Amino acid sequence: MGIEYDVRYAVSPAETKAMDTQALRQNFLIENLFQADKLHLTYSHYDRYIAGGVMPVNQAVALETIDPLKSEYFLERREMGIINIGGAGTVEADGTTYELQHKEALYLGKGVKNVTFLSQETDRPAKFYLNSAPAHQAFPTKKVSRREAEVVKLGTMETANKRTINKLLIAGVIQTCQLQMGMTELESGSVWNTMPAHTHDRRMEVYVYFDIPEGQSVCHFMGQPQETRHIWMQNDQAVISPPWSIHSGAGTSNYTFIWGMAGENLDYGDMDACLITDLR
């Protein structure tokens, strides 16, 4: 089994302001999340968040620790959220097997030692999208189906942002230390997400965009409200959002994205709104 990881350092708004397209992509875009029988991880120094993906095709893939963690096993001091965005698969955690269908989630608490990922069909492999954050307390492992999610409907067709927010790994549905994850699905004809935009200085965020039709793309907007930048993204790519940055996007088609957050506040509504007319 192969494991790949890279490390991204935190950068300030002043540094980001001076970045060209290549530098923005090198610092914030996460490409090649899903490779056959490989574990790909990106370690960000924003809240020491890890985002990654694993796509088992011909064999089971184990969750192994990486050198930056300086740990005996990956979840020795961490928690993890997993959402399957591919075909049906299973996650085995310390001897217990959890079946994850498309768009189902699993939470693994601090202290889980042995984790392996497996697809049920090699011609339609699972794509396990992973988010992990440091944890100070151990909470029970729990699967969360779409039926168990807290669902919120937002937006309108007139403003091209009619969408369904599925809060999967979030307070009120499950106990976590600081990790929160959910999934937003845009309806056909809608393209804007997280608009009006906001920032939240008390936590960072990572988006992964998927369900993007072939030949289409999403333009992700970031930066301070008065100094925005953009990154063009393709299917199954993720982007890191610093605490000081907006995180919004518009696609050439509708799409789905998963948001994951970590920081000092578990209050989902803790955000600083930005007026659309104030964006620059």
Task: Please state the three-class secondary structure of the chain as a single string.
Answer: CEEEEEEECCCCHHHHHCCCHHHHHHHHEECCCCCECEEEEEEECCCCCEEEEEECCCCCEECCCCHHHCCCCHHHCEEEEEEECCCCEEEEECCEEEEECCCCEEEECCCCCCEEEEECCCCCCCCEEEEEEECCCCCCCEEECHHHCEEEEECCCCCCCCEEEEEEECCCCCCCCCCEEEEEEECCCCCEECCCCEECCCEEEEEEEECCCCCCCEEEEEEECCEEEEEEECCCEEEEECCCCCCEEEECCCCEEEEEEEECCCCCCCCEECCHHHCC
Query: Does 198 count as an annotated binding residue?
Result: yes
Q: Which residues define the annotated binding site for Zn(2+)?
A: 198, 200, 205, 247
Q: Which residues define the annotated binding site?
A: 198, 200, 205, 247
